[in-house]
């Protein structure tokens, strides 16, 4: 009996001890302080906020890096350990810019933050997959806060959501071919964010081995380059949302005249680059942004020159990167809208202006030479508008032309490249729904006479966006459910439709070398083997005959 009692007490002690250890492990993820969650990370404690509906926690403005104020146009510095508890409760900060919605000059260089949203079900025993989102914005604007990227819809899908803030304009994309300012500081900020997330997301109940990187618009370019640049990316899956564009429009060489021009606008005339940078370093960042905007300087990812002890982002044009080792183990989801450039041209009066739009776009993309140009322009015009002149009568066909050259055909080119590189699995959808939450249509005020979805219109069905927050029909709710389920399925399983369901009843096949299978994501679902087949066949022919004349920046 004594032995039995002794055995019982030892067993009880073991159970209590194991329970205590489990409790300690759970508490190492999230503790609660006055109703707010506190996370213990390797860098210290972070106190977040409980969402209003109580279903998830928010950690707003979590710093991952700091800008070196001695060289604000150069590399950023990983954020050191927190002193005490860091209160992550402010998502209002943005990097210096003239923001898109009110066109106000705003922001601070103290802006390298993450907004992290965690469903209540996350824990050490139940680590959730993670979706990291790089916003778009032409490399010049971007706000990572809840005003645009509200997490409510995605939190219902039991995934962790993280939005990255990074430097923009001259601070993020000045490229001077020097070790101090080699270029692509914004994407390098993102790289530090990816490293921070990989090392710390387990503390939030996230799974560092199930990270999906998504990029929207130009953020999609950044995401593409993150996996093309290395054999060992810090994520396992990728989503490109309206994020593939014609090569000449997205990459460039260094431009040492940029600091000279901005400095002159602010009062210093010099041809000495070091002197110009020294001057700009001590200027108010908002003054620098304002001067850059006034000069209409456009910022792109650049081809970097290699230096010893300087980490490069990319040193070859993506068109020339033919071997992509990481893609062989990485599922991909590629998406775009069926009327991508609708918002750019819907309000233009083609009866009075932009008569040379076809010529101008072709000239931006190709260097045909004078002898060929007129002939090729006539071929393109005839294909899209027949014998008509550029006018409002053929506006939709002009939008088709612009969408094909800038987005649709470049998507086809990249998909074929990824398939050739033996991508693990690639899924493809075209968003064509037109409802009250079409984000870009609403922001640009596109009238209802135009059908289909514009660039990034699916964003309004992915995020709870304040500018269109109160617009919500039953059909819109159905599309919210379809879009968020598509994304969440991919984040969880590497497949947007692991099984058919009431929401997604049609079989969703991956793309193959023989079929660019796509899902038409709309109210009336459909599938196909190639979007816009006749138009894409036309561009196949154009590129076969004249692709060598495409304007591409050189590699150092």
Report the run of H or E that residue 534 belongs to, with start and end.
Answer: helix 533-546
Residue 33 tokens read as 């302080």
Question: Under 8 Å CB-to-CB from 444, ≥6 apart: which residues?
Answer: 343, 346, 347, 454
**What span, in angstroms and rounded, lies between the C-alpha atoms of 275 and 148?**
39
User: In terms of Cα–Cα distance, which of 336, 342, 440 is closest to 398?
Assistant: 342
- Three-state DSSP class for residue 77: strand
- Gap between the Cα atoms of 334 and 345, Å rounded: 24
The answer for residues whose C-beta is within 8 angstroms of residue 76's C-beta and 6 or more apart is 65, 66, 67, 68, 112, 167, 185, 188, 189, 192
Residue 198: both structure tokens together: 């990989």
Selected catalytic residue, list 76, 165, 217, 242: 217
Q: Is 217 a catalytic residue?
A: yes
How many residues are given for the chain? Answer: 556
Residue 299 CA neighbour count, 13 Å, CB half: 27
Furthest C-alpha separation in the chain? 105
| Residue whose C-alpha is closest to residue 191's, from 233, 243, 140 | 233
Q: Are 538 and 233 in contact (CB under 8 A)?
A: no
The C-alpha atoms of residue 360 and residue 354 are separated, in whole angstroms, by 9
Nearest to 94 by CA among 25, 40, 38, 171: 171
| Residue 544 structure tokens | 């076969």
d(CA 347, CA 454): 13
Q: CA 416 to CA 419: how far, in whole Å? A: 5
> What residues are labeled active site?
217
């Amino acid at each position: 009996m004594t032995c039995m009692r002794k055995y019982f007490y030892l067993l009880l002690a073991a159970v209590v001890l194991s329970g205590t250890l489990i409790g300690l492990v759970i508490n190492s993820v999230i503790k609660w302080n006055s109703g707010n969650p506190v996370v213990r990370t390797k860098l210290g404690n972070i106190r977040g906020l409980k969402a209003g509906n109580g279903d998830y926690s928010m950690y707003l403005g979590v710093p991952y890096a700091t800008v070196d104020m001695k060289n604000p146009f150069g590399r950023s510095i990983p954020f050191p350990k927190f002193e005490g508890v860091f209160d992550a409760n402010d998502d209002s900060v943005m990097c210096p810019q003239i923001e898109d919605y009110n066109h106000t000059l705003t922001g601070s260089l103290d802006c390298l933050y993450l907004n992290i949203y965690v469903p209540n079900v996350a824990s050490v025993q139940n680590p959730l997959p993670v979706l990291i989102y790089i916003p778009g914005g032409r490399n010049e604007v971007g706000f990572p806060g809840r005003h645009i990227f509200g997490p409510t819809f995605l939190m219902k899908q039991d995934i962790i959501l993280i939005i990255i803030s990074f430097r923009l304009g001259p601070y993020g994309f000045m490229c001077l071919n020097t070790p101090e300012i080699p270029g692509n500081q914004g994407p390098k900020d993102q790289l530090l964010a990816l490293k921070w997330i990989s090392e710390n997301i387990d503390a939030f109940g996230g799974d560092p081995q199930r990270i999906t990187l998504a990029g929207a618009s130009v953020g999609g370019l950044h995401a593409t380059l993150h996996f093309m640049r290395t054999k060992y990316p810090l994520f396992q899956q990728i989503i490109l949302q309206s994020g593939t564009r014609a090569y000449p429009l997205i990459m460039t060489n260094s431009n040492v005249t940029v600091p000279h021009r901005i400095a002159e606008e602010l009062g210093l005339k010099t041809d000495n680059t070091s002197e110009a940078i020294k001057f700009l370093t001590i200027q108010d960042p908002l003054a620098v942004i304002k001067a850059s905007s006034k000069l209409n300087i456009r910022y792109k990812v650049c081809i970097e020159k290699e230096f010893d002890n300087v980490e490069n982002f990319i040193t070859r044009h993506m068109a020339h990167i033919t071997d992509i080792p990481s893609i062989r183990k990485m599922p991909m989801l590629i998406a775009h809208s069926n009327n991508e450039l609708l918002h750019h041209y819907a309000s233009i009066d083609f009866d009075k202006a932009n008569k040379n739009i076809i010529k101008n776009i072709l000239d931006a993309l190709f260097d045909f030479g004078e002898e060929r140009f007129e002939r090729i322009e006539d071929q393109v015009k005839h294909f899209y508008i027949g014998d008509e002149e550029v006018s409002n009568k053929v506006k939709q066909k002009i939008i088709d032309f612009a969408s094909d050259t800038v987005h649709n055909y470049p998507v086809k080119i990249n998909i074929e490249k990824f398939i050739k590189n033996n991508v693990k699995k690639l899924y493809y959808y075209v968003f064509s729904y037109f409802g009250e939450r079409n984000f870009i249509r609403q922001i640009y005020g596109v009238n209802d006479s135009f059908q289909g979805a514009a660039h990034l219109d699916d964003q309004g069905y992915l995020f709870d966006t304040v500018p269109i927050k109160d617009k919500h029909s039953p059909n819109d709710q159905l599309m919210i459910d379809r879009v968020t389920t598509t994304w969440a399925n991919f984040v969880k399983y590497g497949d947007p439709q692991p099984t058919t369901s009431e929401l997604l009843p049609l079989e969703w096949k991956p793309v193959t070398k023989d079929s660019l299978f796509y899902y038409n994501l709309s109210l009336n679902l459909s599938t196909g083997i190639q979007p816009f087949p006749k138009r894409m066949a036309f561009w196949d022919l154009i590129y076969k005959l004249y692709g060598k004349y495409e304007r591409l920046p050189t590699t150092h």
